Amino acid sequence: MRLTATALLCLVCCTSATHADEVQVAVAANFTAPAKQIAADFEKDTGHQAMLSFGATGKFYAQIRNGAPFEVLLAADDETPARLEKEGAAVAGTRFTYATGRLVLWSAKPGYVDDQGEVLKKGEFKHLAIANPRLASYGMAAMEALTTLKLLDAVQPRFVQAENIAQAYQFIATGNAELGFVALSQVFKDGKFVEGSAWVLPAKLHQPIRQDAVILDKGRGKPAAAAWLKYLRGDRAKAVITSFGYEL
């Protein structure tokens, strides 16, 4: 009887291992923290593993078009997935908005950034970090906001340009810039700011930062890729996404 139970247990484990798979996911840098948490939950709940790579959406686009092995893209915008779909590099019908991001003016120093962003008008800073607007949607949103506020000409000479939003955060966190524009998700968790001081920019100052996910051509027909996108739509993933300040 023990032998039969052991044999059955081995059969179950082997079957689970057979069906478990990996999915290669390119993730916009602003979504790093929630993606890591969701990936851990995804593995526990499905057995599949999400292998995550983080970077600027613009760079991912170039890599994907040049044959990078990514199977799913979680972009920082809605234009890049749509473009890939139009070009035949993504699976039609799989694209959807998994989050809408919020832009924040942030400083690692407590009390440095006021809750109305007046610090920008005062100009008592030497360096302002911003992600490359040609590669990162949060950088583009920052440029739009500064233009709307009629402050772009005044502050542009003080820009410290980062490759992506993660690098912009590092410039500020290490003191290489007194303040700068980052994603709310980088400095916010469970309803509160983790550190420093910040101003959440009103959404009306820039175009909505809609972040779309899509299965890429290399993920076509792969169960783990489909399972990852399905999981992103589920309640457990949504709870993680909103806890980092994103809107659904």
- Residue 248, domain member (yes or no): no
Residues 94 and 214 in one domain: yes
In this structure, is residue 23 part of a structural domain? yes
Stated length of the chain: 248
Count of structural domains within the chain:
2
Asked if pLDDT for residue 81 goes beyond 70, the answer is yes
pTM across the whole model: 0.85
Q: Which domain holds residue 35?
A: 2-100+208-243
Q: 180 and 171 in contact (C-beta within 8 Å)? A: yes
> Does 237 lie in the same domain as 194?
no
For residues 113 and 179, the answer to whether their CB atoms sit within 8 Å is: yes
Report helix, strand or coil for 129: strand
**Residue 117 maps to a domain:** yes
Q: What is the pLDDT of residues 2-35, one digit of tens each?
A: 444 444 444 444 434 446 799 999 999 999 999 9
Residues 144 and 218 in one domain: no
Structure confidence at residue 18 (pLDDT): 42
Q: Which CATH number does the domain housing residue 144 bear? A: 3.40.190.10
Task: Considering only residues 42 and 191, tell me which one the structure prediction assigns the higher pLDDT.
Answer: 42
Mean pLDDT of 81-87: 98
User: Two tokens at 8?
Assistant: 């059955």
